[in-house]
Structure 1
Protein backbone atom coordinates (compact mmCIF):
# COMPACT_ATOMS: atom_id res chain seq x y z
CA UNK A 1 0.00 0.00 0.00
CA UNK A 2 1.32 3.42 -0.94
CA UNK A 3 1.13 6.15 1.66
CA UNK A 4 1.25 9.78 0.60
CA UNK A 5 2.43 12.54 2.91
CA UNK A 6 -0.14 15.17 1.91
CA UNK A 7 1.59 17.88 3.93
CA UNK A 8 4.75 17.29 1.90
CA UNK A 9 2.78 17.12 -1.37
CA UNK A 10 0.81 20.31 -0.68
CA UNK A 11 3.41 22.71 -2.09
CA UNK A 12 3.25 21.24 -5.59
CA UNK A 13 -0.33 19.91 -5.51
CA UNK A 14 -1.79 22.71 -7.63
CA UNK A 15 0.76 22.11 -10.38
CA UNK A 16 -1.26 19.05 -11.49
CA UNK A 17 -3.71 20.12 -14.23
CA UNK A 18 -6.84 18.88 -12.43
CA UNK A 19 -5.75 20.04 -8.97
CA UNK A 20 -4.97 23.72 -9.36
CA UNK A 21 -7.42 24.32 -12.22
CA UNK A 22 -4.93 26.74 -13.74
CA UNK A 23 -6.00 25.94 -17.31
CA UNK A 24 -9.22 27.86 -18.10
CA UNK A 25 -10.57 24.95 -20.17
CA UNK A 26 -10.08 22.51 -17.28
CA UNK A 27 -11.48 25.01 -14.78
CA UNK A 28 -14.59 25.63 -16.93
CA UNK A 29 -15.12 21.88 -17.34
CA UNK A 30 -15.00 21.37 -13.57
CA UNK A 31 -17.32 24.35 -13.00
CA UNK A 32 -19.86 22.85 -15.42
CA UNK A 33 -19.56 19.46 -13.74
CA UNK A 34 -20.16 21.00 -10.32
CA UNK A 35 -23.24 22.82 -11.63
CA UNK A 36 -24.60 19.41 -12.64
CA UNK A 37 -23.76 17.78 -9.31
CA UNK A 38 -24.77 20.53 -6.90
CA UNK A 39 -28.35 21.65 -6.27
CA UNK A 40 -29.63 24.54 -8.38
CA UNK A 41 -30.79 26.19 -5.17
CA UNK A 42 -27.75 27.65 -3.47
CA UNK A 43 -27.07 26.00 -0.14
CA UNK A 44 -24.50 24.39 2.10
CA UNK A 45 -21.75 22.29 0.51
CA UNK A 46 -19.36 20.04 2.41
CA UNK A 47 -16.12 19.32 0.53
CA UNK A 48 -14.38 16.38 2.22
CA UNK A 49 -10.77 15.89 1.17
CA UNK A 50 -10.71 19.42 -0.22
CA UNK A 51 -6.98 19.50 -0.89
CA UNK A 52 -6.00 23.08 -1.65
CA UNK A 53 -9.63 24.08 -2.16
CA UNK A 54 -9.92 24.41 -5.93
CA UNK A 55 -13.35 22.75 -6.19
CA UNK A 56 -14.50 24.52 -3.03
CA UNK A 57 -13.57 27.80 -4.70
CA UNK A 58 -15.71 26.95 -7.72
CA UNK A 59 -18.66 25.97 -5.50
CA UNK A 60 -18.33 29.19 -3.51
CA UNK A 61 -18.19 31.11 -6.78
CA UNK A 62 -21.51 29.51 -7.72
CA UNK A 63 -23.05 30.97 -4.57
CA UNK A 64 -22.88 27.98 -2.22
CA UNK A 65 -21.85 28.22 1.43
CA UNK A 66 -18.82 25.94 1.60
CA UNK A 67 -17.25 24.03 4.45
CA UNK A 68 -14.01 22.44 3.25
CA UNK A 69 -12.25 19.71 5.23
CA UNK A 70 -8.86 18.07 4.72
CA UNK A 71 -6.80 15.84 6.98
CA UNK A 72 -3.57 17.62 6.00
CA UNK A 73 -2.94 20.82 7.94
CA UNK A 74 -0.79 22.16 5.08
CA UNK A 75 -3.48 21.46 2.46
CA UNK A 76 -6.05 23.16 4.70
CA UNK A 77 -3.74 26.15 5.11
CA UNK A 78 -3.46 26.53 1.33
CA UNK A 79 -7.22 26.06 0.93
CA UNK A 80 -7.85 28.75 3.55
CA UNK A 81 -5.66 31.17 1.59
CA UNK A 82 -7.31 30.26 -1.72
CA UNK A 83 -10.80 30.66 -0.26
CA UNK A 84 -10.12 33.93 1.57
CA UNK A 85 -12.95 36.37 1.07
CA UNK A 86 -15.48 33.75 -0.06
CA UNK A 87 -17.03 33.11 3.34
CA UNK A 88 -15.96 29.46 3.16
CA UNK A 89 -14.86 27.70 6.32
CA UNK A 90 -11.82 25.41 6.14
CA UNK A 91 -11.27 22.74 8.79
CA UNK A 92 -8.65 20.08 9.50
CA UNK A 93 -10.04 16.67 10.36
CA UNK A 94 -10.00 13.00 9.45
CA UNK A 95 -12.49 11.23 11.57
Structure 2
Protein backbone atom coordinates (compact mmCIF):
# COMPACT_ATOMS: atom_id res chain seq x y z
CA UNK A 1 0.00 0.00 0.00
CA UNK A 2 1.20 3.55 -0.66
CA UNK A 3 0.92 4.37 3.05
CA UNK A 4 3.83 1.97 3.64
CA UNK A 5 6.16 3.84 1.25
CA UNK A 6 8.56 6.54 2.39
CA UNK A 7 6.86 9.91 2.57
CA UNK A 8 8.49 12.85 0.77
CA UNK A 9 10.82 14.76 3.10
CA UNK A 10 13.22 17.64 2.41
CA UNK A 11 15.83 18.29 5.11
CA UNK A 12 18.35 21.12 5.60
CA UNK A 13 21.14 20.86 8.16
CA UNK A 14 24.59 22.48 8.33
CA UNK A 15 24.40 23.64 4.69
CA UNK A 16 23.61 20.10 3.51
CA UNK A 17 20.30 19.32 1.80
CA UNK A 18 18.83 15.84 1.60
CA UNK A 19 15.68 14.44 0.08
CA UNK A 20 13.93 11.14 0.61
CA UNK A 21 10.69 9.48 -0.29
CA UNK A 22 8.48 9.18 -3.32
CA UNK A 23 6.93 12.01 -5.31
CA UNK A 24 3.81 11.30 -7.30
CA UNK A 25 3.99 12.55 -10.87
CA UNK A 26 0.94 14.46 -12.01
CA UNK A 27 -0.60 14.93 -15.41
CA UNK A 28 1.51 17.18 -17.65
CA UNK A 29 4.63 16.78 -15.48
CA UNK A 30 8.02 17.60 -16.97
CA UNK A 31 11.52 16.31 -16.27
CA UNK A 32 11.97 19.17 -13.75
CA UNK A 33 10.73 17.58 -10.53
CA UNK A 34 11.49 20.39 -8.05
CA UNK A 35 12.79 23.94 -8.64
CA UNK A 36 15.42 25.02 -6.13
CA UNK A 37 15.76 28.63 -4.95
CA UNK A 38 19.22 30.14 -5.48
CA UNK A 39 20.12 29.79 -1.78
CA UNK A 40 19.60 25.99 -1.91
CA UNK A 41 21.29 25.23 -5.22
CA UNK A 42 24.29 22.92 -4.95
CA UNK A 43 27.86 24.19 -4.69
CA UNK A 44 28.68 21.70 -7.45
CA UNK A 45 26.12 19.78 -9.54
CA UNK A 46 25.41 16.24 -8.43
CA UNK A 47 22.87 13.47 -8.62
CA UNK A 48 22.32 9.74 -8.41
CA UNK A 49 20.51 6.90 -10.11
CA UNK A 50 17.02 6.24 -8.83
CA UNK A 51 13.86 4.32 -9.65
CA UNK A 52 10.89 5.57 -11.64
CA UNK A 53 7.60 3.66 -11.41
CA UNK A 54 6.05 3.34 -14.86
CA UNK A 55 2.66 1.93 -13.93
CA UNK A 56 2.06 -1.54 -15.34
CA UNK A 57 5.48 -1.54 -17.05
CA UNK A 58 7.31 -1.67 -13.71
CA UNK A 59 10.42 0.17 -12.58
CA UNK A 60 13.27 1.67 -14.59
CA UNK A 61 16.49 3.31 -13.42
CA UNK A 62 17.13 6.90 -14.37
CA UNK A 63 19.73 9.46 -13.36
CA UNK A 64 18.37 12.36 -11.32
CA UNK A 65 20.50 15.51 -11.38
CA UNK A 66 20.62 18.38 -8.91
CA UNK A 67 21.42 21.84 -10.29
CA UNK A 68 18.85 24.66 -10.16
CA UNK A 69 16.26 21.86 -10.36
CA UNK A 70 15.97 18.30 -9.22
CA UNK A 71 15.31 16.73 -12.60
CA UNK A 72 15.46 13.61 -14.72
CA UNK A 73 18.96 13.87 -16.21
CA UNK A 74 18.27 13.52 -19.92
CA UNK A 75 15.43 16.05 -19.79
CA UNK A 76 12.63 13.63 -20.54
CA UNK A 77 10.18 11.95 -18.23
CA UNK A 78 9.30 8.48 -19.57
CA UNK A 79 5.67 8.14 -20.61
CA UNK A 80 3.54 6.59 -17.90
CA UNK A 81 5.78 7.62 -14.98
CA UNK A 82 3.67 7.60 -11.82
CA UNK A 83 6.22 7.94 -9.00
CA UNK A 84 9.85 9.04 -8.66
CA UNK A 85 12.01 7.91 -5.75
CA UNK A 86 14.13 10.79 -4.43
CA UNK A 87 15.66 8.86 -1.53
CA UNK A 88 19.39 9.35 -1.21
CA UNK A 89 19.72 12.70 -2.97
CA UNK A 90 22.09 14.93 -0.99
CA UNK A 91 24.14 18.03 -1.76
CA UNK A 92 25.99 20.92 -0.12
CA UNK A 93 24.54 24.36 -0.74
Tell me the TM-score normalised to structure 1 length.
0.25
With CA pairs under 8 Å and 6+ residues apart, which has the higher RCO, 1 or 2?
2
Higher strand share: 2
Tell me the TM-score normalised to structure 2 length.
0.25
